[in-house]
Amino acid sequence: MMEEKKKLTTASGIPVANNEDSMTVGPRGPILLQDFHLHEKMAHFNRERIPERVVHAKGSGAYGTLTITNDITQYSRAKVFSEVGKQTPLFLRFSTVGGEKGSADTERDPRGFAIKFYTEDGNWDLVGNNTPVFFVKDPKKFGDFIHTQKRNPQTNLKSATMMWDFWSLNPESLHQVLILMSDRGTPDGYRHMHGFSSHTFSFINKENERVWTKFHIKTEQGIKNFTNDEATRIKGEDPDYAQRDLFGAIERGDFPRWKMYVQIMTEEQAKIFRWNPFDLTKTWPQGKYPLIEVGVIELNKNPDNYFAEVEQAAFAPAHVIDGISYSPDKMLQGRILSYPDAHRYRLGVNYEQIPVNRCPFMVSNYQRDGYMRVDGNSGSAPNYFPNSFDNIYEDESYKEPAWNLENDIADWYNRNAPGEDDHYTQPGDLFRLMTPEAKKNTISNIVGAMSGIDGPKKDEIINRQLCHWFRADVQLGMGVAQGLGLNMETLSEHLPR
């Protein structure tokens, strides 16, 4: 049966008589201003590109489900976890962090791992990466860090000097830099990597008791990474490799799956933990805080339209639901503000009315007007609260327990003060856990990356970063120094005292 024919129309529904020829005065004359359809086509084309994300500009996404496989209701009252077997629909977007929208998705870079769960208590966004830590632990550092990953303001080129200058001046970055320089920095697509909340969040149960938690999302496809040479080759052959791999797998029914786990730390345990449990550059040892299974994530439906569903998808760590809440993690606190603000700039103040972002359950509030309001703007209903005309109410059963703040002195506290300045133990332990081949590849990747440092501060930057590698692990420092061609006399200056 043939599909019914449809008239071509303008955006306002007016039928179009000619979609290929402009109206002119004679066959070779000037175009008439009254050819409105020409103006509409050109004006819309000029505006097809919305501002790309400042970070995570290139990404891929798909729909799927979270199926609960283990009872964690002792920790959280969130309805998404309410019973074993419960399924919650979701949308998951993967991304590279530093590149532009047209960059290669096999670049050495962390990968974004952002999930929107469409729950009956509202949309829950778990916005993480494929690494359990990050480069900085205070949001005031974020913009400066990202500038070093983008382009030099003079040359408009990527700059190894900028990157290593920043990292060498911020040893808190070392843990994440080591992961980035390992083969984990070039994963084989998106299906073969883990995801992490990275941040510490909190769970609240029915008794209003709070515990701290971290999320781990482990691939069931098995970890697969590219070597630096493989990633470089594929970058030239197929810069859209990860996008093609994910879309193709789902299209042929090879649905990728991940298991979700949580780590739990009580408030009492947090007070005596060796490190600050809310420090984004640190992990919690799994031997002491074991992984607890939660459920299985499966991606099983590709978007119908990339722009509408992937490019316009907007995730924010601010979006938590009853039973899941925040922590004093400084970077998380900063992201609570900055992510929704970025979406309002990029997509408009009503970005949550876009279908991929819209809560599929009831939404009631007094937000009105603004660009691209498409839901009827609540009609004739009042736009203020309280009022005498509607029955919208505040539900106090959703109230969270109060936080017990242990300090009442407001100040600009040094993020790396004594007790907060161990930047070397965890990266050193990670390097020592690597296989000999992984160590070799990591050192080779570091040498290759640091070899791009140039300019009058070259030696200063290299030597400063070399000190950090040595403090993490002497074998690591020696390998990098020798790879950079430094002599033994120079090496001895950087060995830990």
Cα 478 from Cα 13, distance rounded (Å): 70
Domain identity same for 324 and 218: yes
Q: What residues pair up with 65 in beta bridges, in sequence order?
A: 89, 298
Domain identity same for 346 and 220: yes
> Residue 112 in contact with residue 96, Cβ under 8 Å?
yes
Say which amino acid occupies 171.
Answer: P
Domain identity same for 224 and 332: yes
Q: Is residue 39 part of a domain?
A: no
Domain identity same for 243 and 319: yes
Using alpha carbons, select from 165, 212, 106, 112 the residue that is nearest to residue 463: 165
Task: Report the number of distinct structural domains present in the chain.
Answer: 2
Domain identity same for 347 and 456: no
* pLDDT value at residue 13: 83
Question: Sorting pLDDT into bands at 50, 70 and 90, what band is 124?
Answer: very high
Residue 490 has pLDDT above 80, yes or no: no
CB atoms within 10 A of CB 261: 19
pTM: 0.93
The residue-averaged pLDDT of 307-330 equals 95
- 18 versus 260: the higher-pLDDT residue is 260
CB atoms within 10 A of CB 412: 7
Domain identity same for 449 and 331: no
Question: Sorting pLDDT into bands at 50, 70 and 90, what band is 192?
Answer: very high
Question: Which strand (E) or helix (H) includes residue 333?
Answer: helix 330-347
Residues near 52 by beta carbon (within 8 Å), at least 6 away in sequence: 100, 101
Task: Identify the domain boundary among 358, 392, 409.
Answer: 358
Q: Is residue 392 part of a domain?
A: no
Q: Is residue 305 part of a domain?
A: yes
Q: Is residue 410 part of a domain?
A: no
- 364 versus 94: the higher-pLDDT residue is 94
Domain identity same for 447 and 343: no
Q: Provide the CATH number for the domain around residue 82.
A: 2.40.180.10
Using alpha carbons, select from 282, 279, 271 the residue that is nearest to residue 404: 271
Cα 302 from Cα 256, distance rounded (Å): 12
pLDDT, averaged across the chain: 93
Domain identity same for 354 and 218: yes
* Domain enclosing residue 270, as ranges: 59-148+187-358
Domain identity same for 434 and 334: no
Domain identity same for 333 and 194: yes
How does pLDDT run across 247-288, given as a tens digit for each residue? 999 999 999 999 999 999 999 999 999 999 999 999 999 999
> Residue 267 in contact with residue 261, Cβ under 8 Å?
no
Task: Identify the domain boundary among 358, 389, 416.
Answer: 358
Q: Which residues are catalytic?
A: 56, 129
**CA quadruple 381, 386, 387, 389: dihedral, nearest 10:** 60
The residue-averaged pLDDT of 151-160 equals 95
Q: Is residue 382 part of a domain?
A: no
How does pLDDT run across 404-424, given as a tens digit for each residue? 888 888 788 889 999 999 999
Task: Identify the domain boundary among 335, 358, 381.
Answer: 358
* pLDDT value at residue 374: 86
Q: Is residue 369 part of a domain?
A: no
Residue 80 has pLDDT above 70, yes or no: yes
Q: Is residue 225 part of a domain?
A: yes
Q: Is residue 49 part of a domain?
A: no
Domain identity same for 351 and 206: yes
Domain identity same for 341 and 460: no
* pLDDT value at residue 494: 66
Residues near 393 by beta carbon (within 8 Å), at least 6 away in sequence: none
Cα 87 from Cα 4, distance rounded (Å): 37
